[in-house]
Structure 1
Amino acid sequence: MSRIGTRPGTVLVPLFAALTLGLTACGEGTGASAEEEGFTAVRIGYFPLVHTATAVHAEQAGLFEAEDLDPELVPTSGGAAAIPALVSGDFDITYTNYTSALLAAEKGLPLQLVAGNDVGATDHGVFVAADSELRAPADLAGKTVAVNNLQNIGTVAFYEHLGAAGLDPRDVDLVEMPYPDMSAALERGEVDAVWQVEPFQAMAEQAGHRKIFDLFSGPVEEMPVAGWVTTQEFAEQNPETVAAFARAITASGEELQDDQEQLVELVPTYTQVSAELAQDVEMPVFQGGLDLEKLQRTADLMQQHGITGDRLDVADLVAEPVR
């Protein structure tokens, strides 16, 4: 009954270019009201990486089925790109990083937070070349650091580390670069340090690069990184489906947590990560619940660092009921 899609999401327009069109198209997807033998169909967008093992495991282990859900997993091209696709109706629920979701909500997109997924831990690291003299955040003054997006949770985390080290964010040149390109750029000397997330962190370590600190440590320890969102219309029309999804994804994270063997078996089935590489990745910290206090701090830091303009009340963005 359940399905894992093989094609990427078809709507890959920039986030805010989709604002006007997306608002009019909201809720015009397949919807989760269709029933088959008592099961509710739901289309789930997920970016194929280590952290979305929660969705794949929930599908394969029957956790969605136990909640009377008939899921179709559809690969996306990343958190920010997934949001306009969600609003346009390509998915009912999708995985995204919280900064993209909060930024979209601040711009007027009708998003609701459904469930958490992962919080920052040792699976995110800042790397330098093996022979680099850089050892700590304070050493990054005057240096160039690669992040995957200047309006991402990693940028917020960097700014907090710099502030804790007595530096101003303007003391470091942050540049955007796709994760797969960072290692080569580091080796060519084009950047002095890079932010790597699994499985790219494991690749960096295999290449001989040296981690100088965990990005989500110190002032941003256990910061929520990514979770699952839907549209306000879908949440209002399908509260039981939203609640069922949240329960299934939470149960999936609990089953996967600290089970490296299960992750090694699972990840190569839906990503290009080999089992050998999967053995070397740092386990994500899965968290299905929404930590509103920490999410509010994330929203406040985004405003503090100029990523958003107006203050967001995160509690207003939570789909009800979430349990």
Structure 2
Amino acid sequence: MRNRFIGGVLALGLVVPATAGAQEKATVGYYPGALISMPALVASEQKFFEKNGLNVELVPVASGPAMTSAVASGSVTFVNNSWDNLILAVDKGLPVRAVTGSTVKVPFALIVRKGVPLPDLAKGYPAVIKDLLGKNWGVLAMGVSVHFMAQTILTDAGYKASEVTFLAVGLPNTARPALQRGAVDTYLGGEPLPSIMAATGEGTVVVDLSKNQGPKVFHDLGYNGWWASTSTLKDRPEVVARFTKSLEDSYCWFSKPENLDQVVALMQKYVKVPDLSEDAFKTMVKGLLPTFGPEITSYTIDTWAKLLIDNKQLAAARTRKDVVADTAKESFRCAN
């Protein structure tokens, strides 16, 4: 069945050049005010979409569930969403597949608010988790991937999830006030919040998953990628090919050290962080660059499926072949 979704252009692994005809139109969902959708933002600003024959409209989308709904309904051509959400969407019968990767590491860090004693901080993980027992752990929402990751940080360190209290505090814009008030003591979130908390002295990063700290199961684990509907894969294969090539071009450009200053300036345009100095913002972006990559590994999909099964969100395993388009790369290296 899945081979029906792959047209001749994709089956041959070819990309239709922009000169082949009029540019194809596509809409691309991204998370406003966040760094996680950087590949698409760079592709737009550096005109990689245009060079590959795409006329792209960037569409701000507030959350993962909204991304899923948008691509499944056809209101957005491509969206940026996590692998756990993809596996659950396919398991529920939604007509979506991944077409290319976005991150090759989990881009989250466990932040502890100012005022919480951390006598074991210097010992690192897992020793520092002892300092957080009996505390209120803030998460985006209950029963989602970041909640499961936070639980795994606890259990991998030798403790029970029941030894802390998990509280849903929403996105970073509401999590930060919750940390400031002391309503929660920790929060597992992505940039720019960890850098903001460190720069302002409001908190301390105790486990940085993006740097392969914490449970080994999260080391070098992809977190999210770009999806399309199965109808797009079937009916518009050249659009999928042009989109994936554009993101590969974007990755190869922003990964070059000589382009760092341009990348920083571009991200400052999309992500305003007044709490960070110029140098701190640059350090944050530079630290994030190694977390990106276009590949989607079997290990990544298998690991997320197991995590969902362990947390009783998924009844049976789903493999890479079940949820990823045949043309998506499992490994990738820039030409130069």
Decide: shared fold, TM above 0.5: yes
Q: 1:74 aligns with which of 45, 59, 64?
A: 59
For residues 129-150 of structure 1, what are the alpha-carbon distances to aligned partners after superposition, in whole Å with 9 as ceiling and x for unaligned?
2332244224333221111133
Is the CA contact (8 Å cut-off) linking 1:239 and 1:321 kept in structure 2? no
The DSSP-based 3-state class of the residue aligned with 2:102 is strand
2:242 corresponding residue in structure 1: 244
* One-letter amino acid of the counterpart of residue 132, structure 1: V
Larger strand proportion of the pair: 1
Output the TM-score relative to the length of structure 1: 0.81
Matched-pair identity in %:
24
Q: How does 1:145-160 map to 2 (within 5 A)?
A: 145-160=137-152
Q: How does 1:61-100 map to 2 (within 5 A)?
A: 61-100=46-85
Q: Structure 1: any 5+ residue segments left out of the alignment?
A: 1-34
Say if 1:242 and 1:270 are closer, same or farther in 2 by CA, change over 3 A: same
Q: How does 1:1-323 map to 2 (within 5 A)?
A: 37-48=21-32, 49-120=34-105, 123-134=107-118, 135=121, 136-177=128-169, 178-208=171-201, 209-216=203-210, 217=213, 218-219=215-216, 220-257=218-255, 260-274=260-274, 276=278, 278-281=281-284, 282-284=287-289, 285-323=291-329
The DSSP-based 3-state class of the residue aligned with 1:279 is helix
Q: Whole-Å Cα distance in 2 between the matches of residues 68 and 51 of structure 1?
A: 24
Say if 1:316 and 1:280 are closer, same or farther in 2 by CA, change over 3 A: same
Deviation at 1:160, TM superposition (A): 2.4
* One-letter amino acid of the counterpart of residue 205, structure 2: K
Output the TM-score relative to the length of structure 2: 0.78
Larger helix proportion of the pair: 2
Q: Whole-Å Cα distance in 2 between the matches of residues 317 and 243 of structure 1?
A: 18
For residues 74-130 of structure 1, what are the alpha-carbon distances to aligned partners after superposition, in whole Å with 9 as ceiling and x for unaligned?
111122211112222210111112222222222221110111112335x52111123
Q: Structure 2: any 5+ residue segments left out of the alignment?
A: 1-18, 122-127, 330-336
Aligned residues: CA RMSD: 2.3
Deviation at 1:36, TM superposition (A): 10
Is the CA contact (8 Å cut-off) linking 1:76 and 1:82 kept in structure 2? yes
Is the CA contact (8 Å cut-off) linking 2:150 and 2:188 kept in structure 1? no
* One-letter amino acid of the counterpart of residue 61, structure 2: T
Which structure has more relative contact order (CA 8 Å, sep 6+)? It is 2
The DSSP-based 3-state class of the residue aligned with 2:37 is helix
Is the CA contact (8 Å cut-off) linking 1:42 and 1:72 kept in structure 2? yes
The DSSP-based 3-state class of the residue aligned with 1:95 is strand
Say if 1:267 and 1:92 are closer, same or farther in 2 by CA, change over 3 A: same
